[in-house]
Amino acid sequence: MDESKFCTGCGHAVEPDMQFCPQCGKVISGSAAEASLKDQEKEINSLVLMARRNWLIFLLAIYAIPVIIISAIALFEASSMASAIWASDEFRDWMQSHGFDFTQQNIQNYLTYAAGLGLGSGISAMISLICVYMRKMWIIAVITCLAATILCFWSIIGIIIGFLVTWMIIGSRDIFEDSTDNTGNAGS
């Protein structure tokens, strides 16, 4: 539009079609080179966000998948596991030495309770994973990750890692598409 442009870096006069200042080498504002630099910056930002998202998916998956499988098996097999434990000599000895008097039903109830907690924790973590994967419902991702952590109260290490991952999700709001205020105006 304007015939004569000037470098924003050094004030040297530049031709309208120039990409870089011949004097100082600075990229000319409004040029195609500047637009491409901005595009690259955007691309790097989105790569960083995607890397963080992949990390969260990995952390949630290595917890959720085995915990769901093991808990589901334990829930399904609680009755036979209880009878096997109850019949074992080690368990009898342990019970006698501690003065406990558990029935087979007590053991089964305990196993069912523990497996139920594990299944709830694993499914919560899986819901959080799905939210992170879809990049939607940030608040649901935070709440379900927190729920997975609280249901893991029987493990100190689980609690610590769970709170760390929850904290990571809280800090990763940028990766969720619904976190931006200007809806429908996603710059491509």
Write the CA distances from 152 to 3, 7, 64, 116, 143, integer angstroms: 68, 60, 11, 11, 14
- Nearest approach, Cβ of 122 to Zn ion (angstroms)? 60
Query: Nearer to Zn ion by C-beta: 7 or 131?
Result: 7
Query: Nearer to Zn ion by C-beta: 12 or 42?
Result: 12
- Nearest approach, Cβ of 10 to Zn ion (angstroms)? 3
Write the CA distances from 159 to 45, 65, 164, integer angstroms: 31, 17, 9
Query: Nearer to Zn ion by C-beta: 21 or 119?
Result: 21
- Nearest approach, Cβ of 40 to Zn ion (angstroms)? 21
- Nearest approach, Cβ of 35 to Zn ion (angstroms)? 18
| HSE toward the beta carbon, residue 35, CA cutoff 13 A | 4
Write the CA distances from 153 to 60, 78, 99, 156, 160, integer angstroms: 17, 21, 26, 7, 10
Query: Nearer to Zn ion by C-beta: 27 or 142?
Result: 27
Query: Nearer to Zn ion by C-beta: 9 or 116?
Result: 9
Query: Nearer to Zn ion by C-beta: 24 or 32?
Result: 24
The answer to whether 20 and 12 have CB atoms below 8 angstroms apart is no
- Nearest approach, Cβ of 59 to Zn ion (angstroms)? 47
- Nearest approach, Cβ of 37 to Zn ion (angstroms)? 16
Give me the residues that bind Zn ion (CB under 5 A), please: 7, 9-10, 12, 21, 23-24, 26
Closest alpha carbon to 36 in 28, 48, 24: 28
| HSE toward the beta carbon, residue 87, CA cutoff 13 A | 6
Beta-strand ranges (E) seen in the chain are 5-6, 13-14
